[in-house]
Amino acid sequence: MIKHLVFLFLGLCLLVNSVSAQKNRSKKIFHFEAKSARFSGDGVGGETYFFKPAFEVGFGFKYPLTSRVSFIPELSLSQKGFHGKTNYSDSTYTERNLSLNYLDINPNVEIKLGSVSEYATGFSVWAGPYLGIGLWDKASYDIRAINPVKPGSYLLTSTEGESFSRDLRRLDLGFKLGIGVVSQNFVSVGLTYQAGLMNIATDSKSLYNQSLGFYMRVYFDDIL
């Protein structure tokens, strides 16, 4: 399935490039994000959310459709997940840390605001849906509970496992949005937001991927 989706993505890029007007300058793109990832939904009820650092690295192509609008399909390795803690008392709790790694297929549309000159600095807004395919993950749980053998003391139990094969679905679907500054059509930096629309929990509760962070895009030479 993953191989077929990747081939479909590459075929779409070639098709758009072949029908793109010759006067438009297509670009290769390197995309990087540093963000904080979390879950939303009733599956995190009662948990205290902690900062969960995550990164995204990918590549794409920029196909200008007009002087202001471009089609930007991207393929990226995206980290998601959650870090939270449920307190049962002042001394007992469960802390979970989930690191999820996806292959994201993300066709974006970008609108440039301000000057349309290739060498001018302006603003850009881009957005589009994404399809995420879970590749691998790591889940760790720290549980501090009362020691039944020795009253007044506590036991700390740490466990690790794989959530994709147990309680999380591999398929994710949602949208991404970015707002930033483009400098001379060479580099773009700004804020990015991602929200999952598909419930990735396998039980009766709901969990959705979510993140907020910063992105940087570097534009390279024309596609031959």
Measure the CA–CA gap between 200 and 197, rounded to whole angstroms: 9
* 169 occurs within a structural domain: yes
Number of domains in the chain: 1
Give me the half-sphere count of Cα atoms (radius 13 Å) on the Cβ side of residue 82: 23
- What is the model's pLDDT at position 180? 95
* 189 occurs within a structural domain: yes
* 143 occurs within a structural domain: yes
* 31 occurs within a structural domain: yes
Could you report the per-residue pLDDT of 38-76, keeping only the tens digit for each? 999 999 988 999 999 999 999 999 999 998 899 999 999
More confident residue, 108 or 221: 108
- Residue 10 predicted with pLDDT over 70: no
- What is the model's pLDDT at position 14? 47
Q: Letter for the amino acid at 104?
A: D
* 26 occurs within a structural domain: yes
| Average pLDDT, rounded, for the chain | 87
CB–CB of 26/49 below 8 Å? no
The lowest-confidence range among 22-36, 93-107, 185-199 is 22-36
Tell me the chain's radius of gyration from C-alpha atoms.
Answer: 21
| Rounded (10°) CA dihedral 12, 209, 56, 126 | 60
- What is the model's pLDDT at position 1? 54
Could you report the per-residue pLDDT of 32-48, keeping only the tens digit for each? 999 999 999 999 988 99
- What is the model's pLDDT at position 69? 93
Give me the half-sphere count of Cα atoms (radius 13 Å) on the Cβ side of residue 73: 14
Task: Domain of residue 155: give its range.
Answer: 2-219
CATH code at position 154: 2.40.160.20
* 224 occurs within a structural domain: no
Among 164, 152, 176, CA closest to 200: 164
- What is the model's pLDDT at position 15? 46
- What is the model's pLDDT at position 26? 86
Could you report the per-residue pLDDT of 161-203, keeping only the tens digit for each? 999 978 899 999 999 999 999 987 789 999 999 999 999 999 8
- For tokens 């773009």, the residue is 188
